[in-house]
Structure 1
Amino acid sequence: MFATQTFLNLPHKRQQQIINTAVEEFALKEYESASLSAIVQKLALAKGSFYRYFKNKEHLYRYLLSYVVDFRLEKEKEWLQPPAKDFFALLTERFKAEIRFDLAYPGFSSFLHNVAQEKNSDELGNIQEYLTASMMKPLIPAIEEQIKLGHIRKDIPATLMAFQVLQVQQNLYNYLAFVYKMDSRKNVRRKKKAFSLPEEDIQQAAAGFALLLKNGLLAPGKKK
């Protein structure tokens, strides 16, 4: 929608070069201060050629956001273990998949973090709302199913629970970044992974955050 057919007709490798270069710019800077000129220069493109791919900076930004969100959801789906009967075991797996994504794709992760911090603007509107709704979309049906099965409480709307799960998921990364003193922007500049964590540390942190949610979401009468 936001990319022209000319861009979509480019070879996959060239598309990825443009996407990765543009994501890096928006991962390091807020939307207003990000520069199309810097992106074009890194790509060794004439500015006129760039406008054959995207109408303006806003269209580029919105295309990147849609691309990165879809890419992240697909990757997390790949990394999830077979569906668990226990909802909180499933949450633990989701949290682990989210951390794996952040570790493997620091540029994409930092870009999404920057989007989450953007203020409402005349140009972008409430871009945070789009990001939140996109990330909540796969959570809501899973929560509704668990409510029907009687595994989690039914007196709180599924949308509210999904929102809370998403906030906890985001805070898990912030927690690990704090504990391991990670500088995400420095890693993006160096084109390095965020940090390396033993699988058991990821498991422990993910299980801990899922447990914190469990006491609030568990249906009355269920064993803790």
Structure 2
Amino acid sequence: MRPHGRVRLVACKGMIIMPLKTFLNLPENRKKEILNACFEEFAQNDYESASLSRIISNLSLAKGSFYRYFENKLDLYHFLCQFANSLVAANFVHYLDGSGKDFFQDWISFFLSLSEIENDYPLAIRFRFKAALEQSSEVSAQQNMEKPLQRMKFMRDVLQKYQENNLIRKDIDLDFFSLMMTSFNFTLSEYICIKYKIATSSPLYSVGIELLKQDAEQLLDIVRRGWLP
């Protein structure tokens, strides 16, 4: 079960983009409704094609009301990035806390927990993967956009606990291993989408938990034992 309670935003380079106070004062269910409408729009469209007008229409809001929540499209986009990243980060530090006896089993538990995030925010994970590939110059020019090295640093700090507990070899370069496991997570998710023909309008992990576990164990076994006979 994934961690409960409010998600703490993880800053990039010490910067956190926050919505306007009017949004923060909304009831939790209304905030979730607004965020889910935004995740849906940006998960299915690149940044340039995504439309605030469609979001506003889907929420049956007056246009002026939305700009009392977020200053502009870019401000909204970066908040969505930080919020989605924080959902995943909370699960990562919860399941990979270094207290387990098997790093790979802890990783599988973390991976399976991502489907629980989709219970509350169906397209948040799909949005996160799309955002990682966003090519818009307006987005990439911002310093607070998450970069691979920043993700690697966060993961490295967590994985170091496993190395200290002799659950990961001491001679492994944790920076490289962190980057490899990040890439593995993206690859496994892409494989699942292709294998089960998951529509882009559906949650990324919308197949049964047993199928997800089976695929995760199969691919992690390759990482654990290699591919030579």
In the superposition, the TM-score normalised over structure 1's length comes to: 0.78
Q: 1:44 to 1:141 in 2, by over 3 A?
A: same
* Gap regions ≥5 residues in structure 1: 217-224
Q: 1:100 to 1:31 in 2, by over 3 A?
A: same
Answer yes or no: is 1:3 the counterpart of 2:33: no
Contact (CA 8 Å) 1:99, 1:202: kept in 2 or not? no
Number of the residue aligned with 1:219: none
Q: 1:66 aligns with which of 54, 68, 82?
A: 82
**1:49 alignment partner AA:** S
User: Which whole-Å deviations, capped at 9, do the CAs of 1:144-176 have from their partners, x for residues lacking one?
Assistant: 233334443444431221111011011111111
Once the two structures are overlaid, the 10-residue window that deviates more, 164-173 or 90-99, is 90-99
Q: What is the SS of the residue equivalent to 1:202?
A: helix
Q: 1:129 to 1:151 in 2, by over 3 A?
A: farther
**1:169 alignment partner AA:** N
Once the two structures are overlaid, the 10-residue window that deviates more, 207-216 or 163-172, is 207-216
Number of the residue aligned with 2:9: none
Cα RMSD over matched residues? 3.1
Once the two structures are overlaid, the 10-residue window that deviates more, 112-121 or 30-39, is 112-121
Answer yes or no: is 1:202 the counterpart of 2:218: no
Answer yes or no: is 1:164 the counterpart of 2:180: yes
CA distance, structure 1, for counterparts of residue 217 and residue 41 of structure 2: 34
Contact (CA 8 Å) 1:103, 1:194: kept in 2 or not? no
CA distance, structure 1, for counterparts of residue 89 and residue 161 of structure 2: 20
User: Which whole-Å deviations, capped at 9, do the CAs of 1:40-93 have from their partners, x for residues lacking one?
Assistant: 112222222211111100001111111122123335666779942122222232
Number of the residue aligned with 2:107: 91
Answer yes or no: is 1:183 the counterpart of 2:199: yes
Contact (CA 8 Å) 1:24, 1:107: kept in 2 or not? yes
Contact (CA 8 Å) 2:43, 2:123: kept in 1 or not? yes
CA distance, structure 1, for counterparts of residue 35 and residue 121 of structure 2: 13
Residue 137 of structure 1: how far off its partner (Å) = 5.3
Q: Percent of counterpart pairs with the same letter? A: 30
CA distance, structure 2, for counterparts of residue 50 and residue 129 of structure 1: 23
Residue 197 of structure 1: how far off its partner (Å) = 2.0
In the superposition, the TM-score normalised over structure 2's length comes to: 0.76
Number of the residue aligned with 1:119: 135
Greater C-alpha radius of gyration: 1
Number of the residue aligned with 1:54: 70
Q: 1:73 to 1:51 in 2, by over 3 A?
A: same
Larger helix proportion, structure 1 or 2? 1
**2:208 alignment partner AA:** L
Q: 1:102 to 1:177 in 2, by over 3 A?
A: farther
Number of the residue aligned with 1:44: 60
Once the two structures are overlaid, the 10-residue window that deviates more, 47-56 or 129-138, is 129-138
CA distance, structure 2, for counterparts of residue 21 and residue 158 of structure 1: 38
Residue 12 of structure 1: how far off its partner (Å) = 1.6
